[in-house]
Structure 1
Amino acid sequence: MSVIGKVAAILDAFTAEDRGVGFAELQRRTGLAKATLHRLTGEMVEARLLDRVDGKFHLSGHLFALGMRASVERSLIDVATPFLQDLYERTHETVHLGLREGAEVVYVAKIGGHRQARAPSRLGGRMPLHATAIGKALLAFAPDPVREKVLAGPLPRLAPRTVTSAAILRGQLDEAAETGLAFEAEESAVGIVCVGAPVLDGDDLAVAAISVAGPATRFQPRKHGDLVKAAAAGIAITLARR
């Protein structure tokens, strides 16, 4: 593995749930030799790619700033933010913007108020495509090889109602492709329901997706489908104009 590959392995070892990772745990996650890891983490701290606090490593604020400079995501977030804010004002539930990376959705924006549901999503976090409305929206409008690879499984279970049947998931994706809306019914976490819609490019492929999630006790996803779909279309049109 090259030096850059090793640095990438160290950065990829951190998860959205981490609140600092110790050296031993970082070595376990990366599989790098102790001496190599010690040297590289020291250099990464000096280069401001990592912070070291109380003996634990954290992804640095400088690294976050670099990530925010990524032109595609920055442009997308700039364009999407007014639509997400409007969607939040209309629903007062948790609003997400996500991108597909492999078989996962990466959450790049999240808006929620005092009433926000205890959803498992986190800014910068990841979830399997098949277990979320936003993920299904991305998957329904992904290239055929991507869709078929996910359908080939496995489909991990995150909650009792997670769809783990490829046949059922295929039906949901076909419906989403036809209607432009995808739904989740307590599939990523108990008590959470959600509606999502894709942000499409000129070839009708999803460049991103948005969703609104809320507690199953009060939120009715299908009643908000038109709002979500309209917001996604507004983002797509604005991106196309740019």
Structure 2
Amino acid sequence: MTVTSSSPAQHSPAQADESDRQTAVDKALMLLKSLAELDGEIGVSELARRTRLTKSTTFRLLGILHRNDLVERAGSDYRLSPMLFDIGARVYGPTPPLLQELLMPHLADLYEFTHETVHLAVLHETDVVYVNKIQGHRAIRTPTRIGARLPAYCTAVGKALLSFDHDAAEAAIVDGFTPHTEYTCTDPDLFRTELARVRRDGVAYDRQEAVLGLTCVAVPVMGSAGRPVAALSVASADHRFEPARVTPALRRAAYDAARTAGAALCWPAAASGLSRMPAA
């Protein structure tokens, strides 16, 4: 997708003063953040307009970023380089990349059974980070991508993980719930009740709480001491999705994934945790 603009950038005196106070590093980071908000490529003029930088400054900094493999060119446009994804994967330590590689076969098995969008996610403070994702031809548009973060309280994977992490759940409540849709739970007591149910049943749901029209079901991948190391989910369009149909396969995938993670990462799968993941 190429983004173009026919109107030149307009800068007020106040904006010009602010631009003068910014260092070259500040401006380069602005460019990277703006590129990260896009789904495709963007031209220099439009990027300059979005970041309120001059076209010449934008062009010069993009050249520096390109020489350092942080952005890449697509004709006359620019986009983020894959190197940034490699750097970003290390923000959360070594575990997510290891999980991404180890559990990919189980995610693939889950996709083969459901032919719906499937996710692998981990908890980072009160957010979920999507470690892996597979989607097919019927995929509904989702706000998720590998490396992306979303508030845990409004996602199925997030609730699956928060239900076993009391401190993180309470921190999310203290931070407050911003409603993403009319279905987002914003009541602390109802949220605690929902997490208790998830902990009891081993299955979490997002019924259009993050995005209208999108429903998800998730199961934790249990590690040592009955605590999850990740969560798996299946997502689809609300009007045609039957979570109960895919839940047995989701449980089986999480059970197998827990055994793989436990054996490879020296996280012995606790019997109390795995007992929550019955076979399909």
- Is the TM-score greater than 0.5? yes
- 2:215 corresponds, among 165, 190, 193, to 193
Amino acid at match of 1:194: C
Q: Alpha-carbon deviation of 1:171? A: 1.0
Q: Return the offset for 1:83.
A: 1.0
CA RMSD across the alignment:
3.4
1:107 to 127, 130, 136: 130
Partner of 2:118: 95
Distance in 1 separating the partners of 2:234 and 2:193: 22
The residue that corresponds to 1:31 in the other structure is none
* Cα distance in 1 for residues equivalent to 2:231 and 2:52: 35
Secondary structure, counterpart of 2:232 in structure 1: strand
User: Highest Rg: 1 or 2?
Assistant: 2
Provide Cα deviations, 1:171-191, integer angstroms capped at 9, x if missing partner. Answer: 111111112111111111222
Distance 1:14 1:150, change over 3 A: farther
The Cα shift of 1:197 comes to: 1.0
Q: Distance in 2 between matches of 1:106 and 1:56?
A: 29
Q: Deviations over 1:143-166 (max 9, x none)?
A: x32111101232111112111111
Residue pair 1:151, 1:170 contacting (<8 A) in 2 also? no
Higher RCO, 1 or 2 (CA under 8 Å, sep at least 6)?
A: 1
Normalised to the residue count of structure 2, the TM-score between the two structures is 0.70
**What fraction of aligned residue pairs are identical, expressed as a percent?**
34
The one of 82, 90, 95 aligned to 1:61: 82
Residue 217 of structure 1: how far off its partner (Å)? 2.0
Compute the displacement of 1:55 (Å): 7.8
Per the alignment, in what secondary structure is the counterpart of residue 226 of structure 1? Answer: helix
The answer to whether the 8 Å contact 2:129/2:149 transfers is yes
Change (3 A) 1:54 1:116: closer
Matched, 1:164 2:186: yes
The SS at the match of 2:224 is: coil
Closer, same or farther: CA 37–152 of 1 in aligned 2, 3 Å = farther
Listed one character per residue, the Cα deviations across residues 9-39 of structure 1 (whole Å, up to 9, x for unaligned) are 87566545454572564579xxxxxxx9999
SS at match of 1:135: helix
1:233 to 248, 255, 259: 255
Q: Is 2:89 the counterpart of 1:82?
A: no
Q: CA deviation at 1:95?
A: 0.7
Superposed, 1:135-146 pairs within 5 Å as: 135-142=158-165, 144-146=166-168
- Structure 1 gap segments, 5+ residues each: 29-35
Write the deviation string for residues 91-126 of structure 1: whole angstroms up to 9, x where unpaired.
221111112223222222111222223333233322
Distance 1:10 1:17, change over 3 A: closer
Is 1:49 equivalent to 2:77 in the alignment?
Answer: no
* Worse-matched range after superposition: 69-78 or 51-60: 51-60
Contact between 1:16 and 1:125, CA under 8 Å: does it hold in 2? no
SS at match of 1:190: coil
Structure 2: which 5+ runs fail to align? 1-23, 265-280
**Aligned letter for 1:62?**
M
* 8 Å CA contact retained: 1:93, 1:213: yes
* Change over 3 Å in CA distance of 1:64–1:175 after alignment to 2: same
Q: Is the 2:85–2:147 contact (alpha carbons within 8 Å) kept by the matching residues of 1? A: no
Alpha carbons 2:223, 2:262 under 8 Å: kept: yes
**What is the Cα deviation at residue 140 of structure 1?**
1.3
Distance in 2 of aligned mates of 1:169 and 1:11: 36
Q: Which residue pairs with 2:172 in the alignment?
A: 150
Please list the CA deviations of residues 65-109 of structure 1 after superposition, one character each: whole Å capped at 9, or x if unmatched.
Answer: 455687422321122111111111212211111122232222221
How many Å separate the matches in 2 of 1:13 and 1:42?
A: 16
- CA change 1:216–1:79 in 2 (3 A) is same
* Number of equivalences: 237
Mapped to 2, the partners of 1:9 and 1:211 lie a distance apart of 33
What is the TM-score of this pair, normalised by structure 1?
0.80
